Structure 1
């Protein structure tokens, strides 16, 4: 850890070396210019005074220089979100309900009870008729091979990255830090290695692959990218958030493991971050806070989203009946950690009073005061895990239907795209022209383990939608009943 601090200090010293040298030089010039207008008698008196107080002058100047240096080196660099791009699947990969059920029937993996259960889940899911699945799952029988899985992830990652580079005019060689988070597909070579190979990046690129962290891993990657941008000056970082559907479709008849088949859909996002001050004038957002909480010490939380084999050896992800309860507890832990950073004093005092009143006089069933987060945030991007997940957050935070519109519409348009869902939601808000300068947006994501992560962004301008978003050709039709 000591080496990290040394490296940080060295990096910041080099970054701010010119200002640290120039400022004293400018000060000397100003003093000399002022001295040129002084009379000889006055200059003699000043010089005599300095000689008598030489030690004090040296101590004072040294303290000021060290104080300024320490402040500059300790100050966190702002992290800017220059732009982001969400993958837009081609039309031939659309999977309306009728096609989904037809393929499920023709594949022959599911019995009649399982087919009926999937139909009910689809009808209640909040998904629309325009979600997408990878090519391998359009085949009959399905083709969940490693080659097909690689083809899917290349299609999503490179599609999003190509749009991002085209929209920002940033060259791939300028990216020095690359994160990819994909929970259930971690091949060798890694997903980041695939990006390095595709864009022929230099040997000095820093790459990080996050796996097994569920739908909240995108914010985890943002947090880690932020930390690295504090270490390395004047650079870019890219975060690619996705999930692989091809190799993680369940072909059995366990109902708890069939639900992900009905909810998860093709998607991904690429996010360009930078600590360059020159990027502030065109960046969309500045990162304000990242708060990550983990309830994995509790066995019920740990096992509520579990990759397992069923009774006949079929691999899939099992969703526990306790999922909504676990998600609610994780959300409470996260907002308890985030609240002190963002809530005004009035809301903090109201919560404290309700807490004390319940402890002293109230019953166990009486709930704590829920802070009004609408006084802090203008927009909410809640992980579009399912209609039930969005509803649970809406109830817990006492949000209005308009607050969760982006989340419900992203679920309807794209399905559960895992960690990238919060970016489809942010793209929806931009496409609607609702993001104004100074607005704050709260991204909330849940992940296996069980985790709840939050990211808070501040809009630096009246944000306009980027070209080629998934909403570009359909935003006029939204919102819809979902």
Structure 2
């Protein structure tokens, strides 16, 4: 049985469709009636001689049925959704954590063994992270875990989220009162009151705002939030604004055990966040959202457990990353490619992909799958900067050049794995380098727990006018060479 809220949303949807398409609803029948009047009243030399001989029912079918069909189409077609602008949290120099600092702090944790410290050292040297990545203020105290309090976690949220939103409002000139929809995602920290309540209280947003906080969605959650905001904009008044905030709170998630698979997040994840403003109003928009494709493989036990929050044998909570993660991510990517390929690829690539798919089905998978050339569909790629291995695997699978994955590698080096917000730091890199052009197409690919592979296709309307943003103080030093093993 439908809930009252769902019924109200449906009613609002149909009402706004009717209002938004009101001119078309009125104009099409009026124009049709005018044509009939001209045909009946104009001199015979202006119309075909046999027009007067047609029956009334013929005129009705010939004029009003196409008019009704056109009206229904205009009312039912999805609205275009645009990215007005976005802003990434700018990390401060006093939050910087060089490898030596990180390892020195780790040595002060009594339960961590020398073996675990050596493991983290080797991991950092091969991670692709640089010496300027940042951690929240609580992680700069010794011993770290004693200062990872609820109050410190909230302070991190306010620092990251409010800074990004402040910059976004400044860039767009949009007032907080103009926000109709608010979607926030943070996987591991879900306090009460929620993130959306914190934002509503801070910016005094309207009482009728539609707000959601997504948790547990992992590093692909930003694209889930974008997809949710897009759907909500379809039933909101035309020109409504949706604020999407993506972050991961690092403070309360410091693992203090010796399980190697659970030490990985300590080494890779860093502070970061982003705020993006979406709208169905194209004026001043910078990108158009073309497609959002979500793939969830959680029905498979191995995929469900490959990124799993749990306790180790001593009761310490952490995120366990399975050794099969890359294989599972590859399978999820293939499923996502199968879904998005028909939407974005040119006809020639679609034909090759379709023939390969049919051959594999007919021959029970004995034919090697054809990986489409997505370089024919996109000029730019933003691959989740989850780690060097993730970027390497996608570069190989999609046959991308070094330049096409440069944004992902440099974002990982400069900012680390900032979870769901990493895609936006990569977009900021492309724009800071001045590589984005009007009409360019962009593919964002995110991976997350569950296991999920989500992607979004964008088209650039207006490139950034300058390099101001999270890369403002460092873009002149990039790209940098990243050795296989970093010596420090």
TM-score (norm 2): 0.91
Counterpart-to-counterpart distance in 2, 1:348 and 1:55: 45
Matches within 5 A, 1:214-293: 214-232=218-236, 233-277=238-282, 279=283, 282-293=284-295
1:152 aligns with 2:156: yes
Match of 1:207 in 2: 211
Question: How far is the alpha carbon of 1:53 from its aligned partner?
Answer: 3.4
Counterpart-to-counterpart distance in 2, 1:166 and 1:373: 35
Counterpart-to-counterpart distance in 2, 1:22 and 1:406: 49
Q: Which moved more, 1:346-355 or 1:140-149?
A: 346-355
Match of 2:420 in 1: 419
Match of 2:477 in 1: 477
Question: How far is the alpha carbon of 1:122 from its aligned partner?
Answer: 0.7
Counterpart-to-counterpart distance in 1, 2:368 and 2:36: 65
Counterpart-to-counterpart distance in 2, 1:431 and 1:49: 66
Deviation per CA, 1:279-324: give whole Å up to 9, x if none: 2xx2111011111011111111111100000111000001111111
1:102 aligns with 2:96: no
Matches within 5 A, 1:247-396: 247-277=252-282, 279=283, 282-355=284-357, 364=366, 367-396=368-397
Question: How far is the alpha carbon of 1:266 from its aligned partner?
Answer: 0.2
Question: How far is the alpha carbon of 1:362 from its aligned partner?
Answer: 9.7
Cα distance 1:317–1:387, how it changes in 2: closer, same or farther (>3 A)? same
How many residues were matched structurally? Answer: 474
8 A Cα contact 1:167 1:466, kept in partner? no
8 A Cα contact 1:406 1:426, kept in partner? yes
Match of 2:87 in 1: 85
1:125 partner SS: coil
Q: Which moved more, 1:425-434 or 1:106-115?
A: 106-115
Question: How far is the alpha carbon of 1:240 from its aligned partner?
Answer: 0.3
1:291 partner SS: strand
**RMSD (Å), alpha carbons:** 2.6
Cα distance 1:209–1:89, how it changes in 2: closer, same or farther (>3 A)? same
Counterpart-to-counterpart distance in 2, 1:382 and 1:106: 35
Deviation per CA, 1:355-401: give whole Å up to 9, x if none: 4556677984x632221111111011000000001111111111111
Question: How far is the alpha carbon of 1:27 from its aligned partner?
Answer: 6.9
Question: How far is the alpha carbon of 1:35 from its aligned partner?
Answer: 9.7
Counterpart-to-counterpart distance in 1, 2:129 and 2:226: 27
Match of 1:434 in 2: 435
Cα distance 1:465–1:23, how it changes in 2: closer, same or farther (>3 A)? farther
Question: How far is the alpha carbon of 1:32 from its aligned partner?
Answer: 8.0
8 A Cα contact 1:242 1:419, kept in partner? yes
Counterpart-to-counterpart distance in 1, 2:32 and 2:154: 60
Cα distance 1:34–1:461, how it changes in 2: closer, same or farther (>3 A)? farther
Counterpart-to-counterpart distance in 2, 1:67 and 1:31: 18
Cα distance 1:336–1:363, how it changes in 2: closer, same or farther (>3 A)? closer
Cα distance 1:346–1:160, how it changes in 2: closer, same or farther (>3 A)? same
Counterpart-to-counterpart distance in 2, 1:35 and 1:317: 77
TM-score (norm 1): 0.92
Counterpart-to-counterpart distance in 1, 2:350 and 2:206: 49
1:178 aligns with 2:182: yes
Q: Which moved more, 1:200-209 or 1:59-68?
A: 59-68
8 A Cα contact 1:84 1:272, kept in partner? yes
Counterpart-to-counterpart distance in 1, 2:228 and 2:314: 39
Match of 2:485 in 1: none
Cα distance 1:399–1:258, how it changes in 2: closer, same or farther (>3 A)? same
Cα distance 1:31–1:356, how it changes in 2: closer, same or farther (>3 A)? closer
Gap runs ≥5 in structure 2: 483-488
Deviation per CA, 1:411-445: give whole Å up to 9, x if none: 00100000000000000000011111111110000
Match of 2:55 in 1: 53
Cα distance 1:407–1:54, how it changes in 2: closer, same or farther (>3 A)? same
2:174 partner SS: coil
1:471 partner SS: coil
Match of 1:132 in 2: 134
Counterpart-to-counterpart distance in 2, 1:355 and 1:13: 42
8 A Cα contact 1:215 1:446, kept in partner? yes
Counterpart-to-counterpart distance in 2, 1:108 and 1:319: 23
1:131 partner SS: coil
8 A Cα contact 2:290 2:458, kept in partner? yes
Cα distance 1:454–1:363, how it changes in 2: closer, same or farther (>3 A)? closer
Cα distance 1:426–1:433, how it changes in 2: closer, same or farther (>3 A)? same
Counterpart-to-counterpart distance in 2, 1:206 and 1:430: 31
Counterpart-to-counterpart distance in 1, 2:61 and 2:35: 21
Cα distance 1:345–1:27, how it changes in 2: closer, same or farther (>3 A)? closer
Counterpart-to-counterpart distance in 1, 2:277 and 2:360: 45
